[in-house]
Amino acid sequence: MAAMQALFSHRVQQIEKSAIHEMTRLSREIDDVAFLSWAKPTSGTPAHINRAAIQAIERGLTGGYSPSDGLIELRQEIVAKLQRDNHIEATISQILVTVGAIEGLAAAVMAAIDPGDEVILPSPTYSTHIRQVQIASGVPVLVPLLEDDGFTLDTEAIQRAITTKTRAIMFCTPSNPTGTVFAEAALRELARLALAHDLMLITDEAYEYFVFDDHQHFSLASMPEMARHVISCFTFTKTYAMTGWRIGYLHAHEDWIPQIKKAHIPFAICAPVVSQYAALAALRGPQACVDEFCKHYLATRDLMCQRLDALPDIFAYQKPGGSYLMFPRILVEEGRDSTSFCKRLLREARVSTTPGIAFGPTGESHMRLSFCVPEETINKAFDRIERFF
Ligand SMILES: Cc1ncc(COP(=O)(O)O)c(C=O)c1O
């Protein structure tokens, strides 16, 4: 241990092992697991996107680097998409193509904060955001969401958490792990706070297209007065089931892009070029696949809620308005330690879930369930959970 302390930075040593990856590792040791623990689309990438990538390879377009901001034609298509679907008026000099949303978020945090700066994270939140702040030597400040109100933003508590050290507020909407679609009014209140306290808002909009019922996704960068205060991160991973392609992008003021690139280039140089051609085909091609994914997730959300309704003494849940994730509270005594509860469920019921503690201390006594799976997987998992209890 002493030797490790000498060889590795405090920055990396303070970071705990990922509970998500740990559950995946444990799940591999068990046969025929009903898997509800990974937030990745299980449908394959649409065929026309795969074909475009193959053609780009065959035409010899993918052997070199692209410009570090990304292919011009891809950034042009992104500008059109942001205007059409997010009501963001952008130019290509405001776009940086990144290695998934993750690398964009990491570069945004690196560019926005100095060591010791505080970043407010409404929580429970996506654990990677917490780690990104820690790796940048920042201080994550976790402000609880209002669970009984559907895991909504507590803007008053966020306001109270702002100090002279606060530099940014970072969040995902729709949310991982709760599935909440933050309401436009609450997001406008965050915008007001950011302007009043000169803060950066770093948004993760990975699940922007998976929104149900009468919820609406709202992008803060659509507010012209926020131009200098928002870095918005997007991805192809969820929208087009392109997890392994590692391709996403961010939008920020054109004066910020050169600063963010100073963090992007040492980690990535540029996003994978073959994936940039695939992303171009995704944006230019038919969009029916996105609607199909969304319809499927709506059906699987309803099924999962129905199955949870049959277990009212064991779980209490808030119905997710978006994403493909939900975050039920575990009511039984042993759920107080979500890690041992989820491990037991895996070993004894062969159902893989993610312990809520992975999403910050306010996530304890919960577990995250993914419904981006076939209906049979949900039924199999819940049949087993019912037998287990
Ligand atoms: C909220 C959120 N942001 C980002 C990501 C990762 O996105 P990407 O594959 O684009 O890096 C995930 C993946 O689970 C996620 O849930």
CATH number of the domain encompassing residue 364: 3.90.1150.10
Q: What is the CA(312)–ligand 1 centre distance, in A? A: 31
Same domain for 74 and 134, yes or no, is yes
Same domain for 7 and 65, yes or no, is no
Q: What is the CA(206)–ligand 1 centre distance, in A? A: 6
- Least reliable range by pLDDT among 42-46, 178-182, 194-198: 42-46
Distances (CA, A) of 95 to 37, 86, 88, 91, 231: 32, 14, 12, 7, 10
Kindly state the helix (H) or strand (E) to which residue 256 belongs, with its residue range. Answer: none
The helix/strand/coil state of 169 is strand
Nearest residue (CA) to ligand 1, atom 14: 39
Q: Which residue has the tokens 């994550």?
A: 140
Give the CA count within 13 Å in the CB-facing half-sphere of 297.
Answer: 33
Task: Give residue-wise pLDDT tens across range 265-279.
Answer: 999 999 999 999 999
Mean pLDDT (the chain) is 95
Cβ(187) – ligand 1 distance below 6 Å: no
Same domain for 130 and 16, yes or no, is no
Closest ligand 1 atom, residue 248 Cα: 10
Same domain for 186 and 276, yes or no, is yes
Q: Which of 284, 319, 349 is the last residue of a domain?
A: 284
Nearest residue (CA) to ligand 1, atom 12: 206
Closest ligand 1 atom, residue 101 Cα: 10
Task: Give residue-wise pLDDT tens across range 9-58.
Answer: 988 998 888 777 888 888 888 999 999 988 777 778 999 999 999 999 99
Q: What is the CA(205)–ligand 1 centre distance, in A? A: 9
Tokens of 252: 């920020």
CATH number, position 228: 3.40.640.10
Cβ(367) – ligand 1 distance below 6 Å: no
Same domain for 164 and 22, yes or no, is no
Same domain for 33 and 133, yes or no, is no
Same domain for 245 and 233, yes or no, is yes
Closest ligand 1 atom, residue 235 Cα: 10
Task: Give residue-wise pLDDT tens across range 83-137.
Answer: 999 999 999 999 999 999 999 999 999 999 999 999 999 999 999 999 999 999 9
Test site for ligand 1: of 127, 176, 239, most ligand atoms within 8 A of the Cβ: 176
Cβ burial of 128 (10 Å; 0-12, 13-18, 19+) is: middle
Same domain for 319 and 248, yes or no, is no
**Is 0.85 surpassed by the pTM of this model?**
yes
Count of C-beta atoms within a 10 Å radius of residue 178: 30
Closest ligand 1 atom, residue 325 Cα: 16
Q: What is the CA(248)–ligand 1 centre distance, in A? A: 9
Mean pLDDT to the nearest integer, 229-248 = 97
For residue 4, what pLDDT band results from cuts at 50, 70 and 90? low
Same domain for 193 and 54, yes or no, is yes
pLDDT at 226: 98
Nearest residue (CA) to ligand 1, atom 16: 176
Cβ(237) – ligand 1 distance below 6 Å: yes
Tokens of 47: 């065929």
Domain count, the chain: 2
Q: Which of 255, 284, 313 is the last residue of a domain?
A: 284
- 143, pLDDT greater than 80: yes
Closest ligand 1 atom, residue 323 Cα: 16
Range of the domain at 86: 47-284
Same domain for 318 and 192, yes or no, is no
Nearest residue (CA) to ligand 1, atom 1: 176
> Which residues make beta-bridge pairs with 329?
316, 366
Q: Which residue has the tokens 């963090």?
A: 263
Tokens of 340: 């041992």
- Least reliable range by pLDDT among 168-172, 179-183, 358-362, 380-384: 358-362
Nearest residue (CA) to ligand 1, atom 13: 39
Same domain for 87 and 213, yes or no, is yes
Q: Which of 259, 284, 309 is the last residue of a domain?
A: 284
Q: CA triplet 57, 285, 212: central angle to 5 degrees?
A: 125
Cβ(204) – ligand 1 distance below 6 Å: yes
- 1, pLDDT greater than 70: no
Q: DSSP of 327-381, one letter per residue?
A: -PEE-SGGGGSHHHHHHHHHHHH-EE-EEGGGG-GGGTTBEEEE--S-HHHHHHH
Task: Give residue-wise pLDDT tens across range 331-378.
Answer: 999 999 999 999 999 999 999 999 999 999 999 999 999 999 999 999
pLDDT at 2: 58
Q: What is the CA(287)–ligand 1 centre distance, in A? A: 20
- Rounded distance between C-alpha atoms, residue 206 and residue 233, angstroms: 7
Same domain for 138 and 33, yes or no, is no
pLDDT at 3: 64
pLDDT at 19: 78
